[in-house]
Chains A and B, each alone.
Chain A
Amino acid sequence: MFAQFFGSYLLNNKAVTPEQLSEAISKLKQARMKLGTLAMHQGLMTAAEVDEVCYLQSREDKRFGEIAIERDYLTGDQVEDLLRSQSPDYLLLGQSLVDMDIITNTNFQDLLLDYQKDTEIYDMDIEDQEQFDKLIRKFFLVTEKNINENVLVYMKLFFYNLVRFIGEDFTPMSPVPSSEYPVNYCVSQGIKGDVAGTAHIDMPKDVAISFASRYANMDFNSFDEYVKASVEDFLNLHNGLFGVNISNEYSKEIYLDPPKTEETDLIELDSNSYVIPFVYPFGTIHLIITM
């Protein structure tokens, strides 16, 4: 999950363009973690040493590990450990950007250090709940509001549900402070009970077709009733799972209104509203949550 937030950080800091990030994300499924990236991440090699070994590798028919051992940058045991170690998803994203010549290994190392300093999360290998909570609170800081516990739970689940039902190849953009939101194709659902609010999910119709195709695992070619139903289903499913979550963990009960297509052109927002864009390769969706 850190890859999505790291991608967002890179965009916000203009280290990459949206197009470059989108291309790097689209290559992630085929990407394989390189030993040099892991060695650099674990502090065993510097970016310059990794670059040097990569250069030598291009001239000699040897593996990265062999050259790194010959140069005394790594021991045999360290190479074995690195080969067995798990690779965090954000490292793969950074490596993809390096492979595409968008950033250098040195840039990547610096950006990662800056990101860790910015988020105050230094051990991003373990994606535990506490770190994820911290990351989301930090993500919302741009709105200059402290999000309440309900919004935190809601957003955590939304990130997971996007990964689970639509795909992990998205980048969350900073929440947009706004008093109103112009509608494209928008579905809303009222939440009542111990936690009250309204959730909207909005996207252009062509984006809805791709979104629905992924959600329903069907090929939709036009904006029809199945596409509309898919967007409604996703929101209803997410809110239902949110209800289960807060019922089980916080003993709070919610009731949902049926999801409906928003008929207005403009949604009025209040101080408890958050507009969060999520950029997928097929387009941008917006979650508008008031809670």
Chain B
Amino acid sequence: MGRTISLNINLDDLPADQAADLRRLIDESDFINLDDAPLKKHTPDQFRYTITVDTGKFQHTVHTSDSSAPETLRPLLHDLLERTRTKERSG
């Protein structure tokens, strides 16, 4: 459909348990060491994701897609997608 969905999350605004879950997912994905290069291959109809983590001291961005996402990143992707769906459906 060509829809672009954006979600901004400030961990300080989340309940403590949700913030802890997200921090754990980011840590377990080894996010800071994931490749930050733009995606080269454009596969038709796949979802493409741009995830930025900003700590205030530094910022790291990962570009990925459904088929190229590292396995370690998928739990974080699922969590963020679920939050996006909840946000969409709640209006």
Q: Do A and B bind each other?
A: no
Binding site for A on B (CB under 8 A): none
Binding site for B on A (CB under 8 A): none
